Amino acid sequence: MNIYNDYLNEIEERKGQGLHPKPIDGAELLSEIITQIKDLDNANREGSLNFFIYNTVPGTTPAAGVKAAFLKEIILGESLVSEITPAFAFELLSHMKGGPSIKVLLDLALGNDVATAKEAANVLKTQVYLYEADTDRLEAAYKSGSEIAAEILESYAKADFFTKLPEVVEEIKVVTFVAGEGDISTDLLSPGNQAHSRSDRELHGKCLISPEAQDKIEALKAEHPEASVMLIAEKGTMGVGSSRMSGVNNVALWTGKQASPYVPFINIAPIVAGTNGISPIFLTTVDVTGGIGLDLKNWVKKLDANGKAVLNESGDPILEEVYSVATGTVLTINTKTKKLYSGDKELIDISKAFTPQKMEFIKAGGSYAIVFGKKLQTFASKVLGIDLVSVYAPSKEVSIEGQGLTAVEKIFNRNAVGSTPGKVLHAGSDVRVTVNIVGSQDTTGLMTSQELESMAATVISPIVDGAYQSGCHTASVWDNKSKANIPRLMKFMNDFGLITARDPKGVYHAMTDVIHKVLNDITVDEWAIIIGGDSHTRMSKGVAFGADSGTVALALATGEASMPIPESVKVTFKGDMKGYMDFRDVVHATQSQMLQQFGGENVFQGKIIEVHIGTLTADQAFTFTDWTAEMKAKASICISEDYTLIESLEIAKGRIQIMIDKGMDNATQVLKGLIAIADKRIKEVISGEKPALRPDANAKYYAEVVVDLDLIAEPMIADPDVNNADVSKRYTHDTIRPLSFYGGNKKVDLGFIGSCMVHKGDMKILAQMLKNIEEQTGKVEFKAPLVVAPPTYNIVDELKAEGDWEVLQKYSGFEFDDNAPKGVARTGYENMLYLERPGCNLCMGNQEKAAKGDTVMATSTRLFQGRVVEDTEGKKGESLLSSTPVVVLSTVLGRTPSIEEYKAAVEGINLTKFAPSHKLLVK
């Protein structure tokens, strides 16, 4: 009774927070609940019945196994519960989504009781989350002459589980809610500082936007009960910054519909929209839930008589409203005409939101069911020896004779599954592809584990070359929340087959390296496809896609992903990089020059950036690919010279070997296998058998951008522009300013060097600058705090070996100690150097933050409101993004430097140089 009483006490505590009972996932608690259900005189029997029926987590959770076993007892008459008839027990099994429930249904369907077998078969015909253990049983039974097995397989071959679902309704009424003006970061929908609660969906739902916004949404629902609330980014893009499944979950919790009456707080079918549409990676997350994402285009550029955009004083296009979506506006989505209406008035074509594939996601309640359904139908047809019946919308296959392939088109063609044999596919084609590398990060990992449980997966797909579970997002502070969540996550993922940052057995030392950096090292083939649970999954080898926790789970479970082949934008370079400039300035200038070349249109949005980087190794090139998330690109690809690629692979091999030496490899020797893949690839390049990946000379691009290095005359800074009169222009990454804009007098309250945008070279630049400053002035005195978080431990080890870490220690006032990690986040900083543990630190904003209202100069990628620094009543927090030398100098001076001060400070410093390749990097 102790466990149940503890649960009741927890329920009382949650009531004080305005929360319902937490859904049950533990076997021990549910076993006690079942004991009380069986005891007709038990005082807790009614409550126990309610918890068992309506509050138990399905899938492969320990509780689901106990629930499925008890329902089997009821169906077989071994236990009698008047409130749960055998028919109701079958209904409950049908909502449990695989794992133990499928095993029970197969037991019953393949048993000796004919009537029970028929009932079980009818439920099985509606299920899609079957794995090899389940399908092997069915196949064996069929080959042994089982009529029931044949009947089930015939149903699967016809895909009855999909075709018999209700069709998508023709008209969907929506009432608008403007969540904000300008780009809306997923931080607004699911703040990083609330990451610890993501797996508790109801609790996490409390952090959506604001309590006032939640009240307004509830009021709109009450006022318009026939309509769904549509969340809108006015004058901006919805869901920039990261995929964040928790953001979609929160939106669905407040505006969607319950997926099952027997599973609380799992909602589907949210509707989101933006003037400039939905961020690509966020839209994938919306698809996971069977939701709808609309590109409203309700504001357009004002044009003059010659058709040119009219600009304001700042040089930005003036926008004109085409139609209003002000909060409370009632509109109609027609899924048949694929138009948006206000009453009878047609507003805009929204057919991109209702492609045949997206209509299937909506019908099935999400994309997972389609992926698993297709696999199940293929399996059944093969076993029965019949042709595959065309049930699902045929994959769009675009093949243009005489047109070459971009780099991403080549990768997708190589990894395609189920496409027409021998057919060359171009951009726009819908493709299933095998996934080579998968990454799960720690603040979304608990959700990924939940998704894996919900889709009844128990082991990683054997076709995945390697997968890694990070600990970087919770690296800064080892607090009670981390202690409760992270070890549990690491054990689950380690058992599932991933290489984990922390060893559940405690043998090897915990590694908090930034996930993208680790994935960049374990990607050992530039033809690879990578899926990672973070928007900065942007490798400088292969093509990598940041994804929500669900898509990561799907990749882990199936080794596949599905998406259209994106169009590409080609980026090349000309001119010479000035000696006092850093490569980070080239990255910012790329974005700035692109916007100038295309009249303010971001041609990168939703596209692959194919950057002909040529001469930079993977570490340095990663600075560019990492930033492409802020350019709103779908992904990026680096085109390298042969020997640059070889050098990158050799570096990767060395770092993988370090992981092996630490004891991080698993029973299947995944890490050893990656070294073998790298060795094979190096031999192919050296022999000329298979040179480094190149696009074809006659490939077609959406656009081509030429970056003129001669034009980059001073450091470039991405500015959140927090006081821009046009709210929609604030907190975008498109405002790139030269250092001189600030006149050498903008106060800087804190500097941050770290996160994924820096590499070993940046740490060496920091050490060199500190030595120079001491030589020039006799001492190093910080007028603002400088927080330094190296991205990986191997970088720290290399700096120690080369003497640079000793320099940093000399000037630091704090150095991390892994044997005594911080248990509480800092609330204030002194004017000194902080050497923090490798990991995300301030960039993530979920543990440590700058003081409210601070102006921060950072090397990181995040400038969104409230991410690195929050506002105060009188001052907005600012996170300006720049190169390492600018950050260092800004903290020493306590302000932005002048260009003259900057040049003097970096004289003789070995900055990250870049010279464009002189080779034509095409095939």
Chain segment 334-343, per-residue pLDDT in tens: 999 999 999 9
CA distance readout (Å), 445 to 282, 469, 486, 550, 671: 17, 8, 9, 10, 21
pLDDT above 70 for 100: yes
Q: How many CB atoms sit inside 10 A of residue 12's CB?
A: 9
**Closest by Cα among 174, 182, 173, 122 to 152:** 122
pLDDT above 60 for 642: yes
What's residue 912's pLDDT? Answer: 87
Chain segment 754-801, per-residue pLDDT in tens: 988 999 999 999 999 999 899 888 899 999 999 999 999 999 999 999
Q: Which pair of tokens denotes residue 459?
A: 């082991």
Distance, in Å, from the CA atom of 749 to the CA atom of 316, rounded to the nearest integer, reads 30
Chain segment 184-234, per-residue pLDDT in tens: 988 899 987 787 888 889 999 999 999 999 999 999 999 999 999 999 999
What's residue 534's pLDDT? Answer: 83
Chain segment 424-470, per-residue pLDDT in tens: 999 999 998 999 999 999 988 988 998 898 888 889 999 999 999 99
Averaged pLDDT, 34-58: 95
Band (pLDDT 50/70/90 cuts) for residue 837 is very high
Distance, in Å, from the CA atom of 326 to the CA atom of 330, rounded to the nearest integer, reads 9
- Name the percent of the chain lying above pLDDT 70: 100
- Pick the range with the lowest mean pLDDT from 77-86, 661-670, 906-915: 906-915
Chain segment 390-403, per-residue pLDDT in tens: 999 888 899 999 99
Average pLDDT score, the chain: 93
Q: First and final CA of the chain: distance in angstroms?
A: 71
What's residue 338's pLDDT? Answer: 97
What's residue 766's pLDDT? Answer: 96
Band (pLDDT 50/70/90 cuts) for residue 885 is very high
Distance, in Å, from the CA atom of 714 to the CA atom of 899, rounded to the nearest integer, reads 7
What's residue 755's pLDDT? Answer: 82
Averaged pLDDT, 271-277: 96
What's residue 280's pLDDT? Answer: 80
What's residue 420's pLDDT? Answer: 86
Averaged pLDDT, 897-906: 94
What's residue 844's pLDDT? Answer: 85
Distance, in Å, from the CA atom of 140 to the CA atom of 377, rounded to the nearest integer, reads 17
Please give the order of strands across the beta sheet that includes 878-881. Answer: 736-738, 716-718, 878-881, 855-858, 750-754, 786-789, 833-835, 812-815
The DSSP annotation for 60-118 comes to TSHHHHHHHHHHHHHHTTSS--TTS-HHHHHHHHHTS-STHHHHHHHHHHTSS-HHHHH
Distance, in Å, from the CA atom of 181 to the CA atom of 79, rounded to the nearest integer, reads 58
Chain segment 543-600, per-residue pLDDT in tens: 999 888 888 999 999 999 988 999 999 999 999 999 999 999 999 999 999 999 998 8
Residues with Cβ within 8 Å of 51's Cβ and at least 6 positions away in sequence, in order, are: 21, 24, 30, 33
- Name the percent of the chain lying above pLDDT 90: 81
Averaged pLDDT, 845-867: 92
**Closest by Cα among 629, 417, 640, 626 to 519:** 626
Chain segment 309-338, per-residue pLDDT in tens: 888 877 778 889 999 999 999 999 999 999
Q: Which pair of tokens denotes residue 717?
A: 């800074």
Contact call for residues 591 and 636 (beta carbons, < 8 A): no
pTM: 0.84
Averaged pLDDT, 67-92: 97
Q: Which pair of tokens denotes residue 826?
A: 């800092």
Averaged pLDDT, 487-503: 95
Averaged pLDDT, 492-508: 94
Q: Which pair of tokens denotes residue 315?
A: 């040089």
The DSSP annotation for 660-729 comes to HHHT---TT-HHHHHHHHHHHHHHHHHHTSSPSP---TTB--SEEEEEEGGG--S-EEE---TT-SSGGG
What's residue 1's pLDDT? Answer: 57
